[in-house]
Amino acid sequence: QSTSIAFGTIKADPSLPVEVTSDTLEVNQVDGSAQFLGSVLVVQGVMRLSADNVLVIYKPEQKGIDRLEATGNVILVNGPDAAEAERAEYTIDSGTIVMNGNVLLSQGNSTLASSQMVVNLNSGTAQMSGRVKTILNPDGNN
């Protein structure tokens, strides 16, 4: 089953410049693929995505970056909400982030866990699917 919830207060704008910082970057000279390694941090406007390594996939004919594949304790922070997963795929132009591998989303004092989550930055909504489990703290403190 799947639930859709609001994610992040401000609507992120996918046309903002994306800034990626990391310890090292490997650019393969034959096929041109690029891999960021070592505490990689992707920042775009309000959205911040950190992971151990991020692989860059290009659009055809190197016209730009199609998507970023982050693996290794991925943490996505967008405004007050934070989500954690093993892998995440961020398609820049469409502004969607697909996170899978025991996703843990914490919003305010409630946390949701599921196997997959699709975040749409433009509309600011997130769609969690696959064994969604919510942990509500009735007394308000977590």
Partner 1 sequence: MDRYSRMVAFLKVLLPLTALVLLSTLFLISRGVDTDATIPFAEHEIEERMRGQQVTAPFFSGTTAQGDEITVTASIARPGGLAAPAVATDLQAVIKMADGGRLTLTSNSGEVYLDKDIASFSGDVVITSTSGLEVTTDLLNATLSGISANSPGPVTATGPIGVLNAGSMQLETKTQGGPLQMLFNNGVKLVYDPQKSER
CB of 58 to partner 1, least distance (A): 6
| Nearest residue (CB) to partner 1, 22 versus 116 | 22
Cβ neighbour number for residue 90 with a 10 Å cutoff? 27
CA distance 35 to 59: 15
Using rule CB under 8 A, residue 130 touches partner 1:
no
Query: Nearest-CA neighbor of 119 among 48, 51, 55?
Result: 48
Please choose, from the candidates 115, 117, 113, 133, the residue with its C-alpha nearest in 3D space to the C-alpha of residue 125. Answer: 117
Span 38-97, contacts to partner 1 by CB under 8 A:
56, 58-59, 62-65, 92-93
Query: In the 3-class helix/strand/coil scheme, how is 41-97 assigned residue by residue?
Result: EEEECCEEEEEEEEEEEECHHHCCEEEEEEEEEEEEEECCEEEEEEEEEEECCCCEE
Of 23 and 133, nearer to partner 1 (C-beta) is 23
Q: At its nearest, how many Å lie between partner 1 and the CB of residue 61?
A: 9
> Considering only 22-30, 73-81, 108-116, 125-133, which stretch makes contact with partner 1 by CB under 8 A?
22-30
Identify whether the C-beta of residue 83 lies closer than 8 Å to the C-beta of residue 104: yes
Between 20 and 77, name the residue whose CB sits nearer to partner 1. Answer: 20
Binder to partner 1 among 23, 73, 108, 142 (CB under 8 A)?
23
Q: Number of residues interacting with partner 1: please give it, by CB under 8 A.
A: 30
User: Which positions lie near partner 1, rule CB under 8 A?
Assistant: 14-32, 34, 36, 56, 58-59, 62-65, 92-93
